[in-house]
Structure 1
Amino acid sequence: MAADAVTGTADTPAFSPSAVAASCVGFVLIGALQAFYGPAIPALRKEFGLAPSTAGLALSAHFVGGVAGVLLFDRLYGRIGNRRILGTSYLLMAAGAAGFALAPNWPLALTASLLAGLGFGGIDYGLNQLFSTGFGRRSTAMLNILNAHFGIGAILGPALIGVFGAGHYPLVFLAFALANLPVLLCLRGVRDHTPRPTGDNGPAPANRALRTVLAVFVALYVLHVGIEAGVGGWEPTHLETVGFSAGTAATATSVYWLMMTVGRFLVAPLALRHSAQTIITVSCAGMTASLLLAAVPDLAPYAYAAVGLFIAPVFPTGLPWLHRAAPTARRAGALVISASMVGGVAAGPTLGKVIEWSDVGAVPLLLAVTSAACLAATGWLTRATRTTAGP
C-alpha cells in the first residue's frame, strides 16, 4: 500500500484512474438495484401471495436501509478509512441482494432488502462525499459523471428483468450480488483518508446562519428529488389521462430517465467554466418552464423529457457547493443525501393525496409550483453564499 494512499497531502488524488472507473461501475450497480424492485413486483406477488401495496414494501425497505446506511457510514467517515467503508458497503449490498433472491418467505425478503439498502446508502454517501471533495475544482464535473452512471444502471435494471422475465428475478439479483465482488479489487486505488473541504465562499457563516443555510439546502434537495420521483411515478398516468396510449406513455417516461442521464454527462464540461450557483439556477428555471409546458397535452411528452434534462445536474452539482458553503458542518453531506431519500419515498403518496383532492391533469402544475420553490431556494442560497471566487 502506498504511503500517500493513507496519509498524503491535500493535492494527492483521492482516486486512481482504475478506482474512478470502479466507482462509476459502483453507481451503475446501485442504480440497477434500485430499479430492479418495481419490475419484479408481479413475480413477488405471485410467489408470496402479496397485495400490490405489500409487494411495494420491498422498495420502501430498500430506502429505509439506504437512509440508515447514509447516517451510519457518516458516523464512521474519517474514523475507519474510506476503503473499509466502501468495501463493507459493497459486501452488505451483495449479501442483501443474494438474500432477497433466496429468501423463502416475505419477512426475510424484506430484511434482505433492508440489508441491501444499508450497503446502497453507504456507497451512495461514500462516493458522493469523496467525489465532492476529492477532485478540487473538477469535483462538480466528476460528480455529474459519477451520478450519470446511476442513471445508466436505472435504465439497464428494468431491461434485465424484462429480458429474463420477472419470474426469474432471483437469477438477476444473484448475478447482481456477484457483480459487486470484482469492484472490491479496485478499492486499493481509493485514498484511505482525505482532507476535509475548505470553504472558498468567503468566511464560514455563524452558527445560526449556518443552520439556516443547511435547512435551505435540505429543502432544495427534498423538493427536487420529490419532483424527480413525482415525474417518474406520475408521468405515465398523466399522459394516458390526456389521451396518449399506454405504450407511448411508458416510452416517454423512459426518455425522461434517459434525458436525466444525458444531462449529467452534458453538464460535466460546463461545470469547469460555470459556478454551481449558475448551473442550478438555470436548471431550476428550465425545470419550472418545462413543467408548465407539460400542462399543454400536445407538448407534454417533450416537456417531460426537457424536465429530465434540466433536473439532471441539481443533485451532483449542489454537493460541492454545499461543502464550500458550510465547510465546518461535517455532516452536511449526509444530511442532504438522507433527506433526498426521504423526499423520494414521500413524493409518491404525498403527490397522490394532493391529486385525489384535485385531478391527474394538475400533476405538471403541482410539480411546477414545487420547482418554483426550488428556484426560490437556489436564489436565496446564491445570495447567502455569495462569493467573488470563480467556479
Structure 2
Amino acid sequence: MHTLSARSAKTGSADRWFSTPAIVASCVGFVLIGALQSLYGPALPALREEFGLSPSGAGLALSAHFIGGVTGVLAFDRAYGRIGNRALLGVSYALMAVGGTAFALAPNWPLALLGALVTGFGFGGIDYGLNQLFATGFGRRSPAMLNILNAHFGIGAIIGPALIGALGADRYPAVFVVFAVLAALLLLPLGGVRDRTPDQGGRPADAPGADAPAAGVSSRTASLLGVFVLLYVLHVGVEAGVGGWEPTHLEAVGYGTTVAASATSVYWLMLTLGRFLVAPLTLRWSEPVIIAVSCAGMSVCLLAAVLPGAAPYAYAGVGLFIAPIFPTGLPWLKRAVPAAQRAGALVIAASMVGGVAAGPVLGRAIELFEVRMVPAVLFVLAAVCLAATWWLTRATRSARPAD
C-alpha cells in the first residue's frame, strides 16, 4: 500500500481519478441535479394552468422524474465496468439536456411527462456515477469529498426554487432550458475523469464472479446490505418528511405561513451547511462514529420538535445532523460489503424510494393521528436509523479504511 502511495506521488495527476476541472465540474453537476429536482414543485401552478391539470395530475411530473431516477441508477449500474466512466457520465448529462429541453418545450402533457422521465433517467446516472466514483476515487479523503459533492446538491435545491420565485412560475420553460444547456456544457470537462478505475478491474460487469459473493459470506453480505438499505430508506424518509411536512406542522402549532416557510428554507440551508462542516471531520473520525452521532442528534432534535416553542430551531438541528449520513455512508458501505458490487446502486435507488414514500406514508400517519404528531412519527424512524447504525458498527468492526 505504501509502495502504491509512493508511486502515485511520483506520477502525479496520471494516477488521479479526477483532474481539478473535473472535480469542479462534478460539483456543478450536483448543483444541476439538485436544482432540476427542486424546480417541479414551484412550477406546478403554471403547469396546471397551461395543461389544465388537477393537483395530482401536475404532481406526476415529479413522480416521472423519480421513476426515471431509480431506473437510471439501476441501468447505469449495469453499465458500470462495461463502458468507460466518461461515457456513463456523458450519456447522463446528454439525457438531462434532452429531457429538460423536452419538458420545457412540450406541446402537450404526455410529452412533458416523457421529458421529465428522460431528465430523471440522466439524473439517476449522474447521482449514481459521481457518488460511485467519489466513494473510492479519493482514498481516505473520499468521505470528505462525498460530503462536499452532496452539499452542492443542496445548493442547487436552494437555487432552483429561488429562480422560479424571482422570474415567476410561468417562466419555468426558460429555467429548464438554461439548466439543459448547462448539462450539455458539462460534457466538455469529462476528459479529466479517469475512464477506467481500479475497482472495475478491467473486467466487465457481467463477467463470471463479478458480483457474486462467495458462498461462505453470502448470508452476512445479505444481512449487511439489508440493514444499509434500511438505514438509507428511513433516513431519506426523515429528510423528505421534514422538508415536506414541516410547514404544515408549524402552522398547526400556531406559527404563521411566512415563518413556517422560512423555517423550512433554514432546514434545507442547514442540511447543505452540515455537509460542508462535516467534511474536515471525516479526516479525523470514522464513518460509523459520524453516522451514529448524526442519527442520535436528529433523534433528539425531532423529539424536541414536539414542543411548539422549540420546533423551528429543532428542525434546523435535524437538517444539520442528518446532512452527513447519505454521503458518509457510501464509503463505509463499499468497504463493508465488498462482495456485493452493486451495493451502492441499491442504497442510492432505495434512498429515492424513501423520498417518494415519505409523503404518502406521513400523510396516512397524520390521518390516523394528527398533524402535531409529525415529529413524533419521524422520531421513531430516526430511532430505527440509530439502531441500524449501532448494528452495522458492531458487524463491521473488522473493516478498516485503506491508507
CA deviation after TM superposition for structure 1 residue 26, in Å: 0.1
Pair 1:369-2:380 in alignment: yes
d(CA) in 2 for partners of 1:12 and 1:217? 31
d(CA) in 2 for partners of 1:220 and 1:18? 33
5 Å-filtered alignment, 1:64-83, equals: 64-83=67-86
* Residue of structure 1 equivalent to 2:245: 234
* Residue of structure 1 equivalent to 2:151: 148
CA deviation after TM superposition for structure 1 residue 13, in Å: 1.6
Task: Give the fraction of aligned pairs with identical amino acids, expressed as a percent.
Answer: 68
Pair 1:252-2:263 in alignment: yes
CA deviation after TM superposition for structure 1 residue 359, in Å: 0.4
Pair 1:332-2:352 in alignment: no
CA deviation after TM superposition for structure 1 residue 273, in Å: 0.5
Q: Secondary structure at the match of 2:279?
A: helix
Judging changes above 3 Å, is the alpha-carbon distance between structure 1 residues 46 and 336 closer, same or farther for their aligned structure 2 residues?
same
Unaligned runs of 5+ in 2: 1-10, 202-213
Aligned partner of 1:261 among 249, 268, 272: 272
- Asked whether the 8 Å contact 1:197–1:324 carries over to 2, the reply is no
Judging changes above 3 Å, is the alpha-carbon distance between structure 1 residues 47 and 288 closer, same or farther for their aligned structure 2 residues?
same
Q: CA RMSD in A?
A: 1.9
Pair 1:299-2:302 in alignment: no
d(CA) in 2 for partners of 1:219 and 1:294? 24
Aligned length: 381
- Asked whether the 8 Å contact 1:94–1:180 carries over to 2, the reply is yes
Q: Secondary structure at the match of 2:107?
A: coil
Pair 1:112-2:123 in alignment: no
Q: Secondary structure at the match of 1:297?
A: coil
- Asked whether the 8 Å contact 1:197–1:323 carries over to 2, the reply is no
Pair 1:195-2:167 in alignment: no
- Asked whether the 8 Å contact 2:335–2:401 carries over to 1, the reply is no
Q: Secondary structure at the match of 1:26?
A: helix
Pair 1:214-2:217 in alignment: no
d(CA) in 2 for partners of 1:298 and 1:311? 21
Question: In the TM superposition, what whole-angstrom CA distance separates every residue of 1:329-348 from its partner, at most 9, and x where no partner exists?
Answer: 11000000001101100110
Judging changes above 3 Å, is the alpha-carbon distance between structure 1 residues 11 and 276 closer, same or farther for their aligned structure 2 residues?
farther
d(CA) in 1 for partners of 2:14 and 2:217? 28
CA deviation after TM superposition for structure 1 residue 390, in Å: 6.5
Scaled by the length of structure 1, what TM-score is found? Answer: 0.95
* Residue of structure 2 equivalent to 1:3: none
Residue 163 of structure 2 aligns with an amino acid whose one-letter code is L
Judging changes above 3 Å, is the alpha-carbon distance between structure 1 residues 262 and 192 closer, same or farther for their aligned structure 2 residues?
same
Scaled by the length of structure 2, what TM-score is found? Answer: 0.92
CA deviation after TM superposition for structure 1 residue 387, in Å: 2.9
Judging changes above 3 Å, is the alpha-carbon distance between structure 1 residues 173 and 266 closer, same or farther for their aligned structure 2 residues?
same
Residue 105 of structure 1 aligns with an amino acid whose one-letter code is N
- Asked whether the 8 Å contact 2:287–2:332 carries over to 1, the reply is yes
Pair 1:312-2:315 in alignment: no
List, as ranges, runs of 4+ consecutive aligned residues in structure 1 with deviation greater than 4 Å.
Answer: 8-11
Judging changes above 3 Å, is the alpha-carbon distance between structure 1 residues 11 and 225 closer, same or farther for their aligned structure 2 residues?
farther
d(CA) in 2 for partners of 1:263 and 1:332? 25
d(CA) in 1 for partners of 2:107 and 2:183? 23
- Asked whether the 8 Å contact 2:72–2:125 carries over to 1, the reply is yes
* Residue of structure 2 equivalent to 1:122: 125
Unaligned runs of 5+ in 1: 1-7
Judging changes above 3 Å, is the alpha-carbon distance between structure 1 residues 140 and 338 closer, same or farther for their aligned structure 2 residues?
same
* Residue of structure 1 equivalent to 2:163: 160
Pair 1:379-2:390 in alignment: yes
Residue 62 of structure 2 aligns with an amino acid whose one-letter code is L
- Asked whether the 8 Å contact 2:304–2:311 carries over to 1, the reply is yes
